[in-house]
């Protein structure tokens, strides 16, 4: 089963690429010209995202590099301790919605310190997998089409991240009991 899914993930992109070009030709689409026409949009998309990314990443770096993130963890750890949420995974849980590469770095650090098969290691992996980089998704997706007001979406994402982390804690305690 795992093997089948691994094979699928490795083949998915080549198959998609071959499938779409084959289908295009068979339906008499001038595929190369269509491709170039579509690809022109890539440049504009990347440039449109840039200002949003600069704004967000600068703030994140200032927040993290100054040590403010660590301070925040110290502040909220009594509450999370009470919930049974180990302090060791807090940096990851807080970083997860903010930065993909940042949280991956913290995950790797957690594995190195506690071991991937420890309770903390497993919980960290489950938290990592339970959600996406919400702030990145919001910034890039909304930014790419010039949306300035995302309404309740940030709140929705943070609620679902929290639910994901709590679900991770619950299932890791159960699954590996």
Question: CA-CA distances (angstroms) from residue 45 to 71, 133, 150?
Answer: 36, 19, 19
**Closer by beta carbon to other proteins, 87 or else 141:** 141
Buried b (16+ CB within 10 A) or exposed e, 149-176: eeeeeeeebeeebeebbbebbeebeeee
For residue 78, the minimal CB distance to other proteins (Å) is 19
For residue 92, the minimal CB distance to other proteins (Å) is 12
Query: Locate tokens 């301790």: which residue?
Result: 81
**Closer by beta carbon to other proteins, 82 or else 175:** 175
Closest to 92 measured CA to CA, from 146, 170, 164 = 164
Sequential DSSP letters for 53-91:
HHHHHHHHHHHHHTTHHHHHHHHHHHHHHHHT--GGGHH
**Closer by beta carbon to other proteins, 61 or else 81:** 61
For residue 84, the minimal CB distance to other proteins (Å) is 16
For residue 161, the minimal CB distance to other proteins (Å) is 7
**Closer by beta carbon to other proteins, 20 or else 83:** 20
* 116 DSSP assignment: T
For residue 82, the minimal CB distance to other proteins (Å) is 21
**Closer by beta carbon to other proteins, 87 or else 137:** 137
């Amino acid at each position: 089963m795992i093997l089948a899914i691994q094979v699928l993930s490795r083949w998915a992109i080549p198959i998609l690429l071959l499938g779409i070009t084959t289908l295009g030709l068979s339906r008499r689409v001038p595929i190369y010209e269509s491709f170039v026409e579509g690809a022109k949009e890539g440049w504009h998309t990347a440039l449109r995202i840039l200002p949003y990314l600069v704004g967000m990443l600068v703030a994140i770096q200032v927040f993290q590099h100054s040590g403010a993130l660590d301070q925040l963890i110290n502040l909220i750890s009594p509450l999370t301790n009470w919930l049974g949420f180990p302090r060791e995974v807090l940096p990851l849980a807080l970083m997860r919605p903010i930065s993909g590469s940042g949280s991956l770095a913290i995950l790797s650090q957690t594995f190195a310190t506690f071991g991937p098969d420890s309770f903390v290691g497993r919980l960290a992996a489950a938290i990592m997998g339970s959600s996406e980089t919400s702030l990145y998704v919001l910034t890039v997706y909304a930014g790419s089409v010039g949306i300035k007001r995302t309404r309740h979406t940030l709140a929705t994402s943070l609620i679902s991240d929290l639910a994901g982390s709590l679900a991770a804690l619950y299932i890791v305690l159960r699954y590996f009991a």
